[in-house]
């Protein structure tokens, strides 16, 4: 079955990452090379979206956000894959890789909300969160995370359940994929990126409300990779004074994205 082939491929990738981590934390070049390899594996394993309208829409939003990045990131040759998947997910990887699962459109149901998602994921790259995580990770931590992701099949709730089952009482001593502080920083930085591109930062609030509804019953905050929805929304609202000023300035400069849908 397709899902079994995907899991087998991801397991091979995970094994190579684990072996590399045993030797040393990867430098930026190694990390970008590994990201490119994993990205290629995903493109070969997961069906890609073929609907032209959907592709153009997501591409339009991503391009607008990328144009507002610091020059060293804006000028990368960004590569994007849009996966035909019900998973409510998106990601960005070192070296300029963006992946969007079409299931994310259930929560990011307008261009501003999609921009909030893409801005958040790109912020993980521009703030070097993957490098920070790699430098702190232990091989045993990576092994548990990889196994949890594989068992979870890409579903956030199922992944948490698998992680809990594998690590049991040791969960408190293991690093989750991104720390809550990194998630909060990505929210802050990503919100600024989207606002500078002319997307309304206020739409980040209904986005995370939608995400919370999609996730269903969430685990306790101290065991989650993300801040609780309530705290996340409070944090976003506290930034509106700054981000709405950036948004209004972008509008005054003629930045008026019209991506749809």
Active site residues: 121
48 - beta bridge partners? Answer: 83
Six token digits for residue 108: 């990011």
Alpha carbons 166 and 145: distance in angstroms, whole number:
9
DSSP assignments along 210-256, one per residue: HHHHHH-SPPPGGGSSS--HHHHHHHHHHTHHHHHHHHHHHHHTT--
With 0-12 CB in 10 A as exposed, 13-18 as middle and 19+ as buried, what is 30?
A: middle
The per-residue b/e assignment along 43-53, b for 16 or more CB within 10 angstroms, e otherwise, is: eebbeebeeee
């Amino acid at each position: 079955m397709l899902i079994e082939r995907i899991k087998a491929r991801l397991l091979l990738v995970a094994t190579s990452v684990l072996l590399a981590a045993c030797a040393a934390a990867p430098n930026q070049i190694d990390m970008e090379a590994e990201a490119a390899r994993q990205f290629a594996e995903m493109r070969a394993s997961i069906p890609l979206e073929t609907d032209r309208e959907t592709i153009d829409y997501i591409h339009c939003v991503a391009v607008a956000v990328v144009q507002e990045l610091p020059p060293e990131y804006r000028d990368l040759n960004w590569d994007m894959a849009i996966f035909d998947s019900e998973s409510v997910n998106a990601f960005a990887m070192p070296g300029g890789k963006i992946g969007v699962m079409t299931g994310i459109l259930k929560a990011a149901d307008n261009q501003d909300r999609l921009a909030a998602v893409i801005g958040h994921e790109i912020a993980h790259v521009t703030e070097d969160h993957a490098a920070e995580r790699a430098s702190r990770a232990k091989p045993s931590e990576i092994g548990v995370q990889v196994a949890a992701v594989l068992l979870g099949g890409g579903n956030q709730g199922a992944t948490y359940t698998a992680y809990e089952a594998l690590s049991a009482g040791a969960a408190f001593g293991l690093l989750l994929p991104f720390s809550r502080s990194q998630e909060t920083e990505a929210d802050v930085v990503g919100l600024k990126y989207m606002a500078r591109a002319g997307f309304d930062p206020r739409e980040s609030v209904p986005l995370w409300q939608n995400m919370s509804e999609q996730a269903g019953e969430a685990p306790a905050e101290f065991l989650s990779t993300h801040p609780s929805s309530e705290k996340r929304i409070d944090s976003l609202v506290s930034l509106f004074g700054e981000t709405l000023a950036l948004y209004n300035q972008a509008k005054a400069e003629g930045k008026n994205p019209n991506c749809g849908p």
